[in-house]
Structure 1
Amino acid sequence: MRLKNIDLSRSLPRAGLAKSICGAISAGLLAWGIALPTQAADTRYVDWLASYTGEAAANVEGGKQRGSAYAGQLFVGADINMDKAAGWDNTRIHVAFTNRHGQNLAQNYIGNSTSVQEIYGGQNSRLARFTIETSFLDGQLQLEAGRTVANISFLGSELCQYFQTNSACGNPTFVFRTSNFTWWPVSSWGGHAKFWFNDKVYFHAGVYEENTAHQRAGDHGFDWRIADSTGVVVPVTLGYKTSWDNDDYPRRYEVGGWYDGADYADPSRDAEGNLAAVSGENYATQNGRSGVFARFEQTVLRPDLNSRRRVTLFGAVLTGIEGELTQDYYLKAGFVKHGTFAGRDTDTIGFVITRQDYSDEALEDQALLRQLNGGNGLPAGYQLMMELSYGLQFGDHIRVQPNIHYIVNPDQFNDRGRVEDLDNAWVAGLRFDVDLAGLLWD
């Protein structure tokens, strides 16, 4: 059965529509806030959310040229407990707005296509999330649906807050390069379900509308039509996860995959099967890709079981199964150490390294474009990206993380006609996170 297009713009101009919906949501949240009881915390039914993340980076050696860039995100939202607000058992509404601003160092100065500022992308002010979540069977089955994105529910990690590179965080970049996997804060229709077999083992699946049309900078998140969508992405995961409540050494192990049933551009061929770089025709539109992954996070060292000082190892491997892909596989490995020097139990040291290996089709296309532009040789078949970071925690609500990156073989997907390889790049960065809600309301 074909879904009927949801066109909210018939009765209002687009700008007026966005303003009206945003105003209605804001007014509703404000009304709830005014009504919040102040005597007992258990009677609250709105959890206000607000934070700011800034990521500065400077290319100090190698790449395209020296330079610096800053990107940031202001996040404002609320989780509304509908059990207390309206008597809807085990139900919550999630609302989130973002404003992303700034520049991309990778595009402007490094010359590669994988950012060292994971907060960059989906610029502009947007409605990033508007969903309803509920549970059944005493919490064993969890459901959520609405305007959302896949990458906040699948292939994400809490460890990503300790890094700045987009090669690993918020999700392994492979899944975005080889599918239409939807990403924060560019929302579209979607939903997911998680079933817990017990307190550690779960099966997780979702369906998300392809959102490419909403990724343009001028989009605001209030165009809810599906006319421009070409298909859906379906991720699935089987996982094992423990927590501090049931494990002295918390861990997570997952295996899974995804099917992308939306349109995408062939990496090398035109519609007639000829090399598009030679024919000059548009790259062919293909449909249908899939991939698989395995990943883990494991606490391996706790000198004192009465302390949260620890070392956590993590890693992932992703590869494609079907479709014409620009990458063959992706590897990630690293660690995060919580607790550094004496008296710095909440500081962290983190290191991550990723490897992206490109497909023969993508490399052939780039080599042909290089020759046509007067260059020669074959671009490197892989890109390595590394980050070493140190996180300083100031109180409960402010975190500052200086970091350094080394990039081997900066790719040329942002400059496909480049005539020569770029030198390996050194990048200095600084990330800071401010929990505005904690500062204002704790």
Structure 2
Amino acid sequence: MKGLKLFRGKKRKSLWLGLAAALLVQGIDAPAAQPDDPQESDYDMVIRQDPNTDMDSALPPDVVVNQPEWVPKSDQFPVAAPAKHLQWLVNAGITPQLAYTAESAANLVGGVKQGSAYSAQLLMGFDFDMDRLFGMTGSIIHFYITQRHGKNLAETSIGNNTSVQEIYGTQNTHLAEFTINQKFFNNRLELVAGRMAGNAGAFFSSSFYCNFQSNSVCGNPTMIFKDSNFTHWAASEWGGYFKVWFTDKIWFEGGAFESNPQRELITDHGFGWGTKHATGAMAPFELAYQTNFSNDYLPRSYRIGGWYDGGDYKDPVLDAYGRYAVLSGEPYATLNGRGGIFFRFDQMVWRPDPQSQRGLTIFGVAMKNISGRVAENHFFDLGFLWAGTFKGRDKDILGFMISDQRMSGLTLDNIRAARVSAGGSPHLPRDEFMMELTYGAQVTPAFRVSPNIQYILHPDQIAEPFRTKNIPNVFIVGLKFSLDMMTHFNIARNPTT
């Protein structure tokens, strides 16, 4: 009840004035802290588009909350003299979030034309520890707002429909998440409900994926967005999920999310909570075997699962009269119901020092459509991450990934019909391969820079169906950087006093 008394003992006005004053004072003279790792738990050190660090923690229920992860949290380092004005707020149970992530990209070769683009996100919000505030054990409320801005190189210059800047999407000020998270039975059961994006939970997510800039894998394998109404961050909708641990290494989760195509439009800001345009529900599920450094010398994760989308969607090729919609000018026919299955893994295969968490991990994804008339038949992804690349650079990460998106015959028929009508060749590549080589450098505890190069072999022409020739293969240079202000201001999260 100490936190409750502290919270009640201050007037609401002084609470917010204190917060503002702390930000100003700390911005002037505060030393930087060690990284908190808000982008993704484990290896990822980038400022995440969803700051809920519990998203994919893989912590078994009986392991302490501050158990070390792939990359240490800020509260696992000595923290020097945090600002009293803001730290007392965190101690009381209210943790502010303030982070900026930006991604630039330029296609030097290939695409529809050469160009460059910059896209970014400012994230603001609070985590409310309801135990500290009101004595509600195991309860946390997350409230996040994003402001996204910038352009999408895939749209302006490349011509394909998978971005090389994963931070792009919902380019407005948006309510990204407003959820309550409740844990029961010594943390063995977790329930989450409220306004959230479909990928706000651990579904189709991994702490490894967003070390990369390509949207083919970060923040989720892109097929799930092409073959369902699953929404990306920060397009919030009604939803909920549960997660239950059978042992300290085996857990299952399932959920249901609103299927509403309006949620990802730029005209939607996330504050309209009605369900007027909802057409059904999206239900993902996953069974996982997952370890960490506390119970495995070489941590690993193996997951199987699937999804069923009961919402409406557009036929990839035909209108309501059975004609090619791209030629008839009529809307694509509305269908309902589709689903798929997946397998995902990550496995550390080499660890030079048992006293550190440096090492090499490989990861992979396989997804397959099993019902419905969809845009893609399957998706594969394979990659590696090398954490602690050089002596003295324990937090740097070298990574490579390659993905294969297999277009469905229906998608190819749609493009082929348009191309032939324009006098082009009917021969189309069926697979789009996207590759990325990245190096994430931890410049300061709060600031991370990730230069990268990307290559797209056989860019899809879904957005350019009337082109008479294939889009040339694309070579891209990119730069991703992130800044976490709470770490910069030296504020300790998860305080123990």
Q: Same fold (TM over 0.5)?
A: yes
Aligned partner of 1:112 among 160, 166, 189: 160
Paired with 1:189 and 1:39, the residues of 2 have a C-alpha distance of: 33
Paired letter, 1:93 = I
CA separation in 1, counterparts of 2:454 and 2:283?
A: 33
Deviation digits for residues 152-171 of structure 1, max 9, x if unmatched?
21111111231100011100
Q: Is the 8 A contact 2:385 2:397 kept in 1?
A: yes
Equivalent position amino acid for 1:53 in 2: T
Alignment of 1:202-281 (within 5 A): 202-281=251-330
CA shift in 2, pair 1:110/1:358, >3 Å:
same
**RMSD after superposition:** 2.1
User: 1:220-271, CA deviations, whole angstroms, 9 ceiling, x for partnerless residues?
Assistant: 1100000111111000000111122222211111100000000000011222
User: Aligned match of 1:372 in 412, 416, 421?
Assistant: 421
Amino acid in the other structure paired with 1:427: I
Contact 2:210–2:217 (8 Å) recurs in 1? no
**Matching residue within 69, 73, 80 for 2:128:** 80
Deviations along 1:48-94, whole A, 9 cap, x unmatched?
Answer: 21111110100000111111100001111111110110121211100
Partner of 2:149: 101
Whether 1:344 and 2:330 are equivalent positions in the alignment is no
Q: Which amino acid aligns with 1:140?
A: R
- Aligned partner of 2:364 in structure 1 is 315
Q: What's the TM-score, normalizing by structure 1?
A: 0.90
Task: Work out the number of aligned pairs and report it.
Answer: 417
1:22 match: none
Partner residue of 1:163? 212
Per the alignment, residue 30 of structure 1 pairs with 16
Counterpart position of 2:27: none
Q: 5+ residue gaps in structure 2?
A: 1-11, 23-83, 492-497
What displacement does 1:373 show? 2.0
Q: Distance in 1 between matches of 2:464 and 2:13?
A: 45
Correspondent of 1:60 among 108, 114, 118: 108
Separation in structure 2 between the aligned mates of residue 206 and residue 226 of structure 1, nearest angstrom? 18
Distance 1:278 1:43, change over 3 A: closer
Unaligned runs of 5+ in 1: 1-25
**SS of 1:78's equivalent?**
strand
Quote the residue 1:399 is aligned against. 448
Aligned partner (choices 107, 119, 126) of residue 174 of structure 2 = 126
Distance 1:213 1:292, change over 3 A: same
By relative contact order (CA 8 Å, sep 6+), the higher-ranking structure is 2
Q: Supply the distance in 2 between the matched residues of 1:76 and 1:41 (Cα, whole angstroms).
A: 16
Deviations 1:200-237 (A, max 9, x none): 10110010001321222132110000011111100000
Q: Report the more deviating stretch, 128-137 or 270-279.
A: 270-279
- Asked if structure 2 preserves the Cα contact closer than 8 Å seen for 1:37 and 1:44, the reply is no
Contact 1:64 1:109 in 2 (8 A): yes
Query: How many angstroms apart in 1 are the aligned matches of 2:87 and 2:265?
Result: 45
Tell me: CA distance 1:329–1:242, structure 2 relative to 1, closer, same or farther (3 Å): same
CA spacing shift, 1:120–1:38, aligned 2, 3 Å: closer
**In structure 1, distance between residues paired with 2:15 and 2:457:** 48
**Higher mean C-alpha displacement, 225-234 vs 246-255:** 246-255
| 1:359 is aligned to 2:416 | no
Residues 245 and 276 of structure 1, relative CA distance in 2, 3 Å threshold: same
- 2:95 is aligned to 47
Q: What is the deviation of 1:371?
A: 1.2
Q: Which runs of 4+ in 1 moved over 6 A?
A: 26-29, 34-42
Q: Which residue of 2 aligns with 1:7?
A: none
In structure 1, the residue matched to 2:31 is none
- Find the aligned partners of 1:378 and 1:268 in 2 and give their Cα distance: 17
d(CA) in 1 for partners of 2:275, 2:326:
32
Separation in 1 of the partners of 2:273 and 2:253?
25
Name the counterpart of 2:340.
Answer: 291
| Equivalent position amino acid for 1:117 in 2 | Q
The answer as to whether partners of 2:419 and 2:465 remain within 8 angstroms in 1 is yes
